[in-house]
Amino acid sequence: MDKRTIDRARIPGTQLQYKKMNNTGLLSPMSKPVDVRNFSKSGLSFYGEGNMNNGDAILMKVIFPDGKQLRLKGEVRWSHENASVNRYSIGVQFFPFGHGGKYNRPEALDLLREKTGQHILNISNNENNGNDTESLP
């Protein structure tokens, strides 16, 4: 049984590039584009190339099918190997939206609402064969 109470939205064709945020100030490259699994009001999940640790802060560039892009910051909440797609399933909780370096821009929230509202699909165990049971906060 799926324990989640927050609706998820899938936007087919949406991709994401990401990198760990660090305090060294060194510029590290973003990952290759990977598929976004779904969005919720508080985060997203995606298929990553490697395992990440709970608590890792990451910078993400979301690329929607219409070409619009969105930069977001978040914290890894879970990560585990998903053998069926030969990748890691990674769940990220968004940092708060506001003004300042620690926050995601408020305009990003507006675009997320626009995109997920237009394409929302409620995900249930019947739709995903029970393979989508991770929990995002």
pLDDT digits over 38-85, tens only? 998 789 999 998 889 999 999 999 999 999 999 999 999 999 998 888
Q: Is residue 71 one of the residues assigned to a domain?
A: yes
Q: Is residue 94 one of the residues assigned to a domain?
A: yes
Number of structural domains in the chain: 1
Greater confidence (6 vs 63) lies with 63
Q: Please return the burial class of 7, using the count of CB atoms within 10 Å of its CB with bins 0-12, 13-18 and 19+.
A: middle
Q: Is residue 118 one of the residues assigned to a domain?
A: yes
CA distances, 58 to each of 3, 38, 42, 103, 127 (Å)? 26, 17, 15, 12, 30
Average pLDDT of the chain is 80
Q: Is residue 8 one of the residues assigned to a domain?
A: no
Assess contact for 70 and 62: CB atoms under 8 A. yes
Check which CATH number belongs to the domain holding 25 and give it: 2.40.10.220
Domain interval for residue 23: 15-124
